[in-house]
Amino acid sequence: MSEKVCDKHGCKRRKIFRRIIAGILIFILIVLITILIVWAILRPTKPRFILQDATVYVFNVSNPNVLTSSFQVTISSRNPNDRIGIYYDKLDLYATYHSQQITYKTSLPTTYQGHKEINVWSPYVYGNAVPVAPYNAVSLTQDQSSGIIPLMFKIDGRVRWKVGTFITGKYHLYVRCPAYINFGDRQAGTAVGNNAVKYQLVQSCSVSV
């Protein structure tokens, strides 16, 4: 008789436990659905990046296929969203030539970007005696002869979105800013100090998140 009573009590406890677990799961599901609905209504838009200018301090190619370069670039970012903020948790800037990295990575300051706000960075990026791939060395020689060298300034980072008090997890951020530097015509830029030339570019960048 006592065993049957214990079994009944055990069954009741298991039922209560299952109901508690089910209630918690339903609550979590409702919260997630609510977040998704709010997210869909707000429709977050990617930030917009613009490469404003680039100052070239050094750009020397020496044998055998070694490149030394130094730039200062001005890049702006605008948050186009009305109700969504952006946390920039990590931003690494570097330059490439025909998909080959030719400078070291420079870390940009992390920041929070509010609604419709604009942030501007003016970092230095440089590379010292960076080996250039043989196939790129040929293209680089040809571009130097023509006077215009196509570079790409890239930003790889992590961002989080802020909707009210809710903050999302981290997303990858990829920014690509083309820059066509006219080394053949110094009049295309403005002399800055000794042997440095500043080029006004105002070039829109492609952004993917």
**Domain ranges for the chain:** 8-42, 48-208
Burial group, residue 26, by CB count within 10 angstroms (0-12, 13-18, 19+): exposed
Q: Which residue has the higher pLDDT, 13 or 181?
A: 181
Q: Which residue has the higher pLDDT, 25 or 14?
A: 25
Q: Which of 36-40, 116-120, 122-126 has the lowest mean pLDDT?
A: 36-40
Residue 130 three-state SS = strand
Does residue 110 have a pLDDT over 80?
yes
At 90-106, the pLDDT tens digits run 999 999 999 999 999 99
Could you tell me if 86 and 113 are in contact, meaning their C-beta atoms sit under 8 angstroms apart?
A: yes
- Taking residue 162's Cβ as centre, other Cβ atoms within 10 Å add up to 18
Q: Report the greatest alpha carbon distance in the chain.
A: 102
Residue 159's closest CA among 207, 82, 91, 83? 91
Structure tokens at 30: 């409702």
Could you please state the CATH topology (level 3) that the domain comprising 48-208 is classified under: Immunoglobulin-like (2.60.40)
Residues whose CB falls within 8 Å of the CB of residue 89, separated by 6 or more in sequence, listed in order: 110, 157, 158, 159, 160, 170
Does residue 115 have a pLDDT over 90?
yes
Cis-peptide into 64, omega within 30 deg: yes
Handedness of CA 46, 47, 52, 53 (dihedral sign): negative
Q: Which residue has the higher pLDDT, 75 or 20?
A: 75
Does residue 126 have a pLDDT over 70?
yes
Tell me the CA distances in angstroms from 17 to 3, 141, 171, one per residue in order.
21, 74, 37
Average predicted confidence (pLDDT) for the chain: 88
Could you tell me if 92 and 157 are in contact, meaning their C-beta atoms sit under 8 angstroms apart?
A: yes
User: The whole model's pTM is what?
Assistant: 0.80
Residues whose CB falls within 8 Å of the CB of residue 4, separated by 6 or more in sequence, listed in order: none
At 140-188, the pLDDT tens digits run 888 988 889 999 999 999 999 998 888 888 999 999 999 999 876 666 7
Structure tokens at 7: 């079994």
Q: Which residue has the higher pLDDT, 30 or 122?
A: 122
Does residue 114 have a pLDDT over 80?
yes
- Output the pLDDT for position 1: 47
Q: Which of 33-37, 61-65, 153-157 has the lowest mean pLDDT?
A: 33-37
Does residue 14 have a pLDDT over 90?
no
In whole angstroms, give the CA distance from residue 154 to residue 89. 16
What is the share, in percent, of the chain residues with pLDDT greater than 90?
A: 56
Does residue 64 have a pLDDT over 70?
yes
